[in-house]
Structure 1
Amino acid sequence: MAALSAWFWNERFWLPHNVTWADLADPAPGVEYPKAGHLFSALPLALGIFAVRILFERCIAGPCASFLQIQTELSRRAQPNAVLEKVFTSITKSPDSRHLEGLSKQLDWDVRKVQRWFRHRRNQDKPSTRTKFCESMWRFTFYLYIFTYGIHFLWQSPWMWDTRQCWYNYPYQDFLIMFIHHLATISLISFSYVNNMLRVGSLVMCVHDSSDFLLEAAKLANYAKYQRLCDFLFVVFGILFFWTRLIIYPFWILNTTLFESWDIIGPYPSWWLFNILLLVLQVLHIIWSYLIARIAFKAIMRGKVSKDDRSDIESSSDEETETTSKERLKTAARRHLASPRGENGTNGHFGSKSWSQNHSDW
């Protein structure tokens, strides 16, 4: 274990040249540097935040949902069936037609009845609009607070206005004021914490926090059925997302981590890993931007923003009506094709009453 620890914490990987862990372990009086062990403090903090979230959703978000008349939908529950339940828990999607026919014969049920059972069973596991409203309200509040705190702190920091300040006197930089701020991250910020890239880490975090709360605000408006407000917030979110992730991040953040840091402290092994992670993040930004642009395009074409994928609570009555109508139309079409003169003696065409009725149902 000692050999493994020595290999993992190799100073020549984590730190610039001529800097050792011992240099950071014995700072001057009143100064303290980050240590990897500090990250374990995130565990009790995470539990505390989780408890706060539960109280927030029950005591604040719940009453807000009631005020906006957002209620829990009452979906039809599937009747208990051990055979179908076993199949449902063993697959990740609806069974195909071959399995449906097999289950239909095994249970002596109509195929449509089996399909209906799986539809009702899936709906039981979907969160209600009220639940998603409370979740989004919590994330909106949390993201807004984190972003506001980040801006408040960084506004007074010299490295927000001159990113070269991130690398002067590195890694001998005080950690205390950014300790709580960095516990809110998991992977990339944890890495920046271990090797004391706190200043540039705070810039990365602030850039990413700037648009998250707007997305949650748009979701809240969507769940509350304020469609125009939802569309407006989504547009503002999209603009800010593109600006921060495709312009500010690459031309401000990546510029300092790749070029300014190279000039001031020079590259070293963990420097390469840190920048690779940041570049991977930029690739994700491009992918996410494409997805957002696609949603925005669809919204413009049909006049409103797409619903949250999880909000597609399937309406049994609507789907059953649609399925039944389609089957009726297919049956009528088969009869029409089988008859040389078609139904109602129309020489191969539906009579006007028959066609209008089937078209309307479909």
Structure 2
Amino acid sequence: MDLEASALEWFWNPNFWLPPGVQWKDFEPTDKVRFANYRDGGYAITSAICILCVRFLVERKFLIPLGKWLGVGQTKQPDLLSSVHYPHTNQLEKAYESFGGKVPSNVIADLAKRTDMEIRSIERWLRVRSAAKNNEAKLRKFSECGWRCFYYTISFSFGVFVLWDKPWFWDINHCWIGYPFQAVPDDVWWYCCLGAGYYCSVLMSIGFDIKRKDFWEMFVHHVATMLLMCVTWLSNLTRIGSIFLILHDCADIFLEAAKMCKYANYRKLCDVLFVCFTLVWIVTRLGIYPFSVINSLLFKAPAIISIFPVFYFLISMALVLQVLHVIWSYYILKIVAKAVFCGKVPISE
């Protein structure tokens, strides 16, 4: 117990988390003033679980039926996987799953001997099975994009509603003026709790979602954002935390909507939405974020507040996000360049 107590005391050392001379007891809430509190972490976990439940309902009850209605992942060919056509479906399915759809020719020959089927018939079954799996994956991708579009729209709209009358939304210097004793309004508390809960839910579900080409970039992004939200909350830096959230929500609304249109074969609408996404991305991720937020962290904040160790960690996470923004911007500009020559936007799945 002494070792555990010592470890907790070392971890929660106020000299690391808080400005010089400030103690945790200084942030005890009262009837009139509410500060960010490390005990509120449980609310983020609860929020994450609630968000996952909402996601399940939205995808199952609305997005998947919508995708099917739009014809996402649907083909006009007959069900060639039926046991009427292929009486040895179980053996073929087992071989397909064992090799991840890429069944070697020697295994196909062995299957032909054991099932008394022609090799050409087995190869045809494997092609149709792969097509069916791809169609199923496309519908899942549509529903996942739909969920993210739904969440980002709600979150961004709520963020604008919450921050519109807050002074730091219009002048980022107010993120530092009066720090660390900045009361957290109830609406800002709920907005940050929702944001932390969402990124926590993403990390909970990342192993179940379809793995995309930028999986590791997205994983690093979500981890960095989650750590950033934790740091800003624990050190009562909720004002800059709320700015991080709203800047990272707005562009993704258009990107996810564009992907949904691509899966549903609405190419013109997809192209228009991708143009909107590119413009918003450039303004927020390559304009406001580096030249306002990061500039404020590096140069303006040190002139107003006393810098403490965890603040450097906050800066490092903000820079990690900016590096990812630059990497993704490179891919986005490549897509734009291809669109100029090809006449359509080749959005990566």
Q: Which amino acid aligns with 1:180?
A: W
Identify the residue that residue 177 of structure 1 maps to in structure 2: 187
Distance 1:92 1:301 in 2: 36
- Inter-partner Cα distance in structure 1 for 2:158 and 2:51: 16
Q: How does 1:47-58 map to 2 (within 5 A)?
A: 47-58=49-60
Tell me the secondary structure at the aligned position of residue 279 of structure 1. helix
Distance 1:239 1:111, change over 3 A: farther
Q: Which moved more, 1:253-262 or 1:115-124?
A: 115-124
Greater relative contact order, per chain length (Cα 8 Å cut-off, separation 6+): 2
Q: Is the 8 A contact 2:19 2:307 kept in 1?
A: yes
Q: How does 1:231-250 map to 2 (within 5 A)?
A: 231-250=271-290
1:160 aligns with 2:200: no
Q: Distance in 2 between matches of 1:198 and 1:239?
A: 28
Q: Is the 8 A contact 1:103 1:114 kept in 2?
A: no
Which of 278, 283, 287 aligns to 2:323? It is: 283
Q: CA deviation at 1:178?
A: 1.7
CA distance in 1: counterparts of 2:329 and 2:101, whole angstroms:
28
1:203 and 2:243 correspond: yes
| Aligned-residue RMSD, C-alpha | 2.9
| Separation in structure 1 between the aligned mates of residue 280 and residue 62 of structure 2, nearest angstrom | 28
Structure 1: tracts of 5 or more residues without a match: 310-362
User: Which stretches in structure 2 are left out of the alignment for 5+ residues?
Assistant: 200-225
CA contact (8 A) 1:182 1:190 kept: no
Letter in 1 for 2:283: W
Which residues in structure 2 correspond to 1:346-357 (within 5 Å)? none
d(CA) in 2 for partners of 1:113, 1:101: 13
**How does the TM-score come out when normalised to structure 2?**
0.76
Select which of 184, 192, 195 maps to 2:232.
Answer: 192
Cα distance in 2, alignment partners of residues 194 and 120 from structure 1: 53
- Contact 2:335–2:347 (Cα < 8 Å) also in 1: no
Task: Give the letter aligned to residue 155 of structure 1.
Answer: W
CA distance in 2, matches of 1:152, 1:19: 32
Q: Which amino acid aligns with 2:189?
A: F
1:10–1:180 distance in 2 versus 1, CA, 3 Å: same
- 2:30, 2:121 → 1: CA distance? 75
Change (3 A) 1:22 1:302: same
Letter of the aligned partner of 1:239 in structure 2? Answer: L
Distance across 1 between alignment mates of 2:166 and 2:26: 25
Structure 2 matches for 1:1-362, cutoff 5 A? Answer: 1-25=4-28, 27-62=29-64, 64-65=66-67, 68=70, 70=72, 72-73=74-75, 77=81, 80=89, 82=91, 85=94, 88-89=97-98, 94=102, 100-108=104-112, 119-126=127-134, 127=136, 129-175=138-184, 176-183=186-193, 184-185=195-196, 186=199, 187=226, 188-306=228-346, 308-309=348-349
Pick the structure with greater CA Rg: 1
| Structure 1 residue 101, shift from structure 2 partner | 4.1
CA positional deviation for 1:88: 4.0
| Preserved contact between residue 139 and residue 216 of structure 1 (Cα < 8 Å) | yes
Structure 1 residue 198 displacement after superposition: 0.4
Contact 1:71 1:130 in 2 (8 A): yes
